[in-house]
Homo-oligomer: A and B are copies of this chain.
């Protein structure tokens, strides 16, 4: 059996930040983060200038995995309608899981009331990419108003993941008819 190298303190801190802020919110303390990562506070402050920076880098580093999970493969050759529906099927597939708390990039923006917080700015940028994905597919799919459809899909995405994340709705039987109605109305067949 190959010996697996232990993750670096930096990586362990980023993972602890990702896990603990998702479970407990951005108010989680530095002590708890360092303890979960098995890293001293002194080491943490050598690696990151502040907890704010740790949160921001953690969100940045989660983005690729989130996108890989959420978005269809760039070269899947599926029509835009299917590619859009794929995103919502992914959200619905998580909605029933007890540990699901909705989209972390929305939660961070709601929790951090200060718009200039570096983690909030990262979250905003990451979410912008999802809207840009919807905008691209809407255009390729011949939507009558691609900008409007992209805003509608972003709105439904945030509403759906938020409501699933607070256990207000399990999304079963909700997402497909809602998205289909909006796509039909926009002329994306």
Number of interface residues of A (CB under 8 A): 40
- Give, as a whole number of angstroms, the nearest-CB distance from A183 to chain B: 10
Q: Is A148 an interface residue (CB 8 A)?
A: yes
B-contacting residues, A132-189, CB 8 Å: 148, 151-152, 154-160, 162-163, 165-169, 173-174, 177-178, 181-182, 185
Q: Is A51 part of the binding interface, using a Cβ–Cβ cutoff of 8 Å? A: no
Number of copies: 2
CB distance from A120 to the nearest CB of B (A): 8
Contact status B166-A155, CB under 8 Å: no
Check: A127 CB closer than 8 A to any chain B CB.
yes
A181 to chain B, nearest CB (A): 4
Residue A12 interfacial (CB < 8 Å) = no
Flag whether A42 is at the interface (Cβ < 8 A).
no
Given contacts A159-B157, A160-B155, is CB(A113)–CB(B23) below 8 Å?
yes
Q: Interface with B: A2-10, A32-40, A73-81, A101-109, which one?
A: A101-109
Interface flag for A25 (CB, 8 Å): yes
Are B110 and A162 closer than 8 Å at their CB atoms? yes
The reply to whether A106 and B166 form a contact with Cβ atoms under 8 Å apart is: yes
User: In the complex the two chains form, is A102's CB within 8 Å of B113's CB?
Assistant: no
Q: For residue A159, which residues in chain B have a CB less than 8 angstroms away from its CB?
A: 154-160, 162
Q: Determine how close the nearest CB of chain B comes to the CB of A149; give it in whole angstroms.
A: 10
Within the complex, the shortest CB–CB distance from A166 to chain B, in Å, comes to 4
Residues of A within 8 A of B (CB): 23-25, 27, 101-102, 106-107, 109-113, 115, 124, 127, 148, 151-152, 154-160, 162-163, 165-169, 173-174, 177-178, 181-182, 185
